[in-house]
Amino acid sequence: MWQPQQGFGGQPSWQPAPPQGPAYGQQPTWRPAPPQNTPNQFGYPSAGYPSLQQPPRRGGAGKLILAAVGIVVLLGFGIAIINALAGGGSTAGGYVNETYTPPEPNLNPPPLPKITTYDQANQTVTSNAIYGQTVPQPVKCDVSSIDLTTASQDELETYMTSIVGCLMAVWHDPVAQAGYELPRPPVIVYSKPITSGCGKLETENAVYCGADQKIYYATDLPSILPPDLRKARFVVEMVMAHEFGHAIQARTGILVSFNGLEANASTKAAANEWSRRGEQQADCFAGLFIRAVSKSAGLTQADLDNVAATARAVADDTLSGKSNIDGNHGLADSRQYWTQLGLASTTVKACNTFVAPPEAVR
């Protein structure tokens, strides 16, 4: 199946998630003024935020979303990013996109790119033109907050649709500059199992469906999160940013390619690895978005801690209780690593999980 749903919580509805192994590298440290883009032992940046004193810089580094690399975790990280992101291409008003108006949700989007061979799929995921792009920052995003536990279905849909508008503001230019179209995906909020272009969607999940190019969010998804995260700010923004990451993959041919590579893998372990690469890339794309809007959204250290904690809360090992599970989304450390690497980056290339060593996508 080349276009399964890509989602956020629970166990995959279309394949079981079995058991997995060793850890990857070390957790990036989140301290003031770390070296930017210093390669670690695998050649990837040791992610860190610019300090409050540094001049701003531009550079730097569904199925269900559950991915992460085995690393030592530090949840107190990098509040310095909040005030360090202004400048670097911004307008006189302080934001790079103040004249951008997101299009309306597209209910009849153009077809996704067609991928017909293994070589074409492999080339698409490893050498895509999107990797040559830089995510603009700081980007204006007028979001407040919402209580996921008390908001009505209509309130949730309105709020999440506005988040997708912010996601369009961040991602429209990089996708267009890479030579692709990015129609705005509609958001569908549901409270009981629903039929989508990808088939029946269960609750306790958020999903991007490549077949109809829509994002779906189940109202009971917060029930899979720890109680202290259910009302936390920027948790749902992270969920939407991950699902939108799958939309970027879909519009650039990456989604259909890694789904095809996964479906044609010779072993279950190899199939799971292809899946994890795609899921953890969506985590990293979410981090890029959160960095881009952090100044406008007024993110605090607590908000950033919530992002890290959410990444861990929906990982294969966390949800299954099996520390060595060989799942198709990944371990808590790995999911947090790629999310935080996105937070420490502005280049899409930083999120190329498809050229990372296997131990980086556990």
Which is more confident, 224 or 7?
A: 224
Query: Percent of the chain beyond pLDDT 90?
Result: 67
Per residue in 85-98, is it b (16+ CB within 10 Å) or e — as a string? beebebeeeebbbe
Q: Quick one: pLDDT band at residue 54, thresholds 50, 70, 90?
A: very low
Residue 336 belongs to what domain range? 5-361
Q: How confident is the model at residue 12 (pLDDT cuts 50, 70, 90)?
A: very low
Q: How many domains does the chain have?
A: 1
Counting residues of the chain whose pLDDT is more than 70, the rounded percentage is 74
Q: What is the mean pLDDT of the chain?
A: 80
Q: Which pLDDT belongs to residue 31?
A: 26
- pLDDT, tens digit, 9 for 90 and up, residues 203-247: 999 999 999 999 999 999 999 999 999 988 899 999 999 999 999
Closest listed residue to residue 206, CA positions, set 192, 189, 223: 189
